[in-house]
Amino acid sequence: MKQSVKLIVGNWKMHGLSADLGEAATLRQALEEESASCRVVLCPPATLLDRMRTVVEGGAVELGGQDCHEKPAGAFTGSTSAAMLADAGASLVILGHSERRAAFGENDAAVAAKVEAAIAAGLEPIVCVGETLAQREAGDAVAVVSAQVENSLADSLAERPFAVAYEPVWAIGTGLTPTLEQIAEVHAALRAALVRRLGQAAARIPILYGGSVKPENAAEILAASEVGGALVGGASLKAEDFLKIIRAA
């Protein structure tokens, strides 16, 4: 399915201090002058959300968190709840990023619990899935991501806006990307899995591609079948690069 409005999401990961808020200001200003034909989201570290809100408020840039705890509140030192993200200015949240799955041991059930928490707080989840290089080389990419998406979603998503991001683990931050055929194959499988899991309502859910998206490759990736947008890491840190990707959408 060809999505009409692409969703372009910048994941700043653990990068960003007060001095970097100017990048958000530049982005906001450029989108006012150019009126982007896509939705644009920045996901800074939680510490910057509230201040970034004051920078982008009233403009076209939306804000998201990078993760949330599955519980609404409690004795979970160091964690951030979905309601806290919403309170600080987020309207979306990235969940199940492969860096969290790998470094923090998050499995599909944990991601699904976070999806429930995000929905309860009124956030739009962006649920990430992706195979490792070993899984791709074994011919298991489609089976792995299909199982991940079916098990990482929550039933209540059927009536809610959300997005899925296909991010091959081996393509994140490496400069490597799958071929357009490989992207199209996985996105078609994810679409089928989404509809199997949540019914026809999921036929229009955007499926983003993520993994070394850059100004140089954005246009061809975003034009691939079933690609409803991009989740961008490194190339979202500088407004100038991120804007080139936004213009390609």
Element (H, E) at 10: strand 7-11
Let me know if 140 is exposed, middle or buried by CB neighbors in 10 A (0-12, 13-18, 19+). Answer: middle
- To the nearest whole angstrom, how small is the minimum distance from the Cβ of residue 173 to ligand PEP? 4
The answer to whether 102 contacts ligand PEP (rule: CB under 6 A) is: no
The answer to whether 232 contacts ligand PEP (rule: CB under 6 A) is: yes
The answer to whether 131 contacts ligand PEP (rule: CB under 6 A) is: no
User: Judged by CB, which is closer to ligand PEP: 172, or 198?
Assistant: 172
* Terminal-to-terminal C-alpha distance of the chain: 16
Which runs of consecutive H residues, i.e. helices, occur in 138-237? 141-152, 180-198, 218-222
Instruction: Return the structure tokens found at 183.
Output: 């992207």
Q: Of the listed pieces 38-46, 148-156, 204-212, 241-249, which binds ligand PEP according to CB under 6 A?
A: 204-212
Applying CB under 6 A, which of residues 84, 231, 239, 246 lies at the interface with ligand PEP?
A: 231
The answer to whether 229 contacts ligand PEP (rule: CB under 6 A) is: no
Positive/negative CA dihedral, 170, 224, 66, 100: negative
Let me know if 79 is exposed, middle or buried by CB neighbors in 10 A (0-12, 13-18, 19+). Answer: middle
Instruction: Look at the chain and count its residues.
Output: 249
Q: Of the listed pieces 18-26, 103-111, 149-157, 211-219, which binds ligand PEP according to CB under 6 A?
A: 211-219
Instruction: Return the structure tokens found at 193.
Output: 């899995």
Of 97, 99, 106, 131, the catalytic one is: 97
- To the nearest whole angstrom, how small is the minimum distance from the Cβ of residue 205 to ligand PEP? 18
The answer to whether 228 contacts ligand PEP (rule: CB under 6 A) is: no
The answer to whether 96 contacts ligand PEP (rule: CB under 6 A) is: no
Radius of gyration, alpha carbons of the chain: 17
The answer to whether 212 contacts ligand PEP (rule: CB under 6 A) is: yes
Is-catalytic flag, 69? Answer: no
Sequence-separated (6 or more) residues with CB below 8 Å from residue 231? 9, 11, 94, 126, 128, 165, 167, 208, 209, 210, 213
User: Judged by CB, which is closer to ligand PEP: 83, or 129?
Assistant: 129
- In the region spanning residues 136 to 195, those forming contacts with ligand PEP, defined by CB under 6 A, are 167, 172-173
- Dist CA 125 CA 186 (whole Å): 20
The answer to whether 234 contacts ligand PEP (rule: CB under 6 A) is: yes
The answer to whether 65 contacts ligand PEP (rule: CB under 6 A) is: no
Catalytic annotation, residues: 97, 167
Footprint of ligand PEP (CB under 6 A): 11, 13, 167, 172-173, 210-213, 231-235
